[in-house]
Amino acid sequence: MDAPPGYMTLYVAFFREGDFRLPMSKFIRDILTRYGIHFSQVNALGLPRVTHFEFIYRGQKIEPTFEMFNVFYYVTSTGGFYSFNLELPVYFLAVGIPQNVFMSGSKNSSISVMELFRLICITGR
């Protein structure tokens, strides 16, 4: 679909499946700029990988950066559209699980995943 001059066509899937919001976050702008990709060239299925990466880091009060993203993902192109695929191999090691978390009658019944353990991510690079 062609947009009128001064406008841009966006897929509904960007908003529905990709959790995309306007205005675009600085992190998403940085990713696209560093890879040299225009937003209209991003595959609707690749966008959730960027937004979910950002949400995970921000949820831990860590500012996500291109360098962090680039450790885990690389750009692929199919039919003129770009996506982001997981860089393999990636291994996840869970450490520091508190012993009392699994005991019945725990005082804290709502413990997040990151409160249970820390992930140490080791890539094959």
108 and 121, same domain (yes or no) = yes
79 and 24, same domain (yes or no) = yes
Q: Using one digit for the tens of pLDDT, what is the confidence trace for 66-124?
A: 999 998 899 999 888 899 998 876 555 555 545 554 444 555 544 444 444 344 444 44
51 and 97, same domain (yes or no) = no
26 and 81, same domain (yes or no) = yes
32 and 5, same domain (yes or no) = yes
Residue 65: give the domain boundaries.
Answer: 1-86
47 and 60, same domain (yes or no) = yes
70 and 93, same domain (yes or no) = no
Residue 10's contacts (CB-CB under 8 Å, 6 or more residues apart) are 20, 40
Q: Global pTM?
A: 0.64
70 and 107, same domain (yes or no) = no
25 and 80, same domain (yes or no) = yes
CA distance 28 to 24: 7
pLDDT at 59 over 50: yes
pLDDT at 52 over 80: yes
What per-residue confidence (pLDDT) applies to 15?
Answer: 80
103 and 73, same domain (yes or no) = no
Give the confidence band of 18 by pLDDT, cuts at 50, 70, 90. low
Q: How many domains does the chain have?
A: 2
Using the CB atoms, write b or e for 34-48: b if 16+ within 10 Å.
ebebeeeebbbebbb
What per-residue confidence (pLDDT) applies to 78?
Answer: 87
- Pairing status of strand 90-95 against strand 81-86: unpaired
49 and 101, same domain (yes or no) = no
Q: Which helix (H) or strand (E) holds 90?
A: strand 90-95
Residue 85: name the closest of 43, 125, 56, 24 by CA. Answer: 43
103 and 68, same domain (yes or no) = no
